[in-house]
Amino acid sequence: MLKVGVIGAIGYVGAELIRILINHPKVKLEAISSTSYIGETISSIYKNFYGKVNLICTDMEEVIKKSDLVFAALPHGLSEEIAELTFKENKILIDLGADFRLSKEEDYKKWYGLNFLFKDLHKNSIYALPEFNRSKIKNYKIIANPGCYPTSIELGLMPALKNNFISVDNIICDSKSGATGAGRTLSLKSHYTEVNENLSAYAIGNHRHTPEIVECLSKISGKKVSITFTPHLLPINRGILSTIYCNLKKEICLEEIHKSYAEFYKNEPFINIMPLGETAQIKDVKYTNNCNISLHQDHNKNQLIIISVIDNMLKGAAGQAVQNMNILMDFEETDGLDFIAFSN
């Protein structure tokens, strides 16, 4: 059994990792940490773990010591020091934060206000969107798990870019997320009375996921991609719906585009291309590691409209992290992730 640990276990994503890992057939959850709850059991904080998990929150050094593979579910700026420790110990780190998602330090400085602390570590890390670079992931010890918004957008656009159907200029990405995407720490924007019966845009024109999306899509395309990305906060707990507008490079029927998408993703266990005429919706992927994609054209037939939906806590975070672990360890990619959505 693979020994795994979770650093940042008390956040929503950390708790979701625990929920998945305790039911994974090939791993043993050895240790968890939280700087704010050292000495407390996870079941005293999340009551759903009563009788199932009674691990005590400890410090990150203890988690690294006891684990072969470590998940870090922390805000940006906190994972590089963990990566340095795991790399020295020849252990694997799957980082669910932003510290290793961008390849250029100047981009990290511009968007996150920080420099790389351990520059050489970044040469030993990989941006791990499985459907894009699955074959390379096994060669790295530091795994950068993609962000939630980028995952929905990149999966939605990948076949269109690979098949050269669309212009790489002026791609519009309109995304909406449930409130868990704001994290467990309460702020004014995530307060119940602010979220309930409301729909609000935020970080308009300067959301930190923008450079991540641009970098990944540019690698997929082989050309510099230009996007306009606007996130919105939905009055729901979980889920992301991205509506993506892109200009077709040539006249092509929707049936042909749909066929190419179905072919592109035919061997992907977590990607579903919806039948033409149907629209992807959040409730069909909630509590799963799936990404459902539906394809549409505007009335002039010159614009492709892509709807891509994921559960932000699973395919957008913890589920994709476990998927990456499965790839790294040569497990079945669906191990621990074979969930059916709640449809109501």
The residues that are catalytic are 148
CB 104 within 8 A of CB 126: no
* DSSP per-residue codes, 293-319: EEEEE-TTS-EEEEEEEE-TTIIIIIH
3-state secondary structure of 246: strand
3-state secondary structure of 339: coil
Cβ neighbours around 58 below 10 Å, total: 20
Cβ neighbours around 218 below 10 Å, total: 16
φ, ψ for residue 176 (rounded to 5)?
-135, 135
Per-residue exposure over 90-126, b if at least 16 CB sit within 10 Å of its own CB, e if not: ebbbbbbbbbbbbbeeebbeebbeeebeeeebbeebb
Tokens of 108: 């990290």
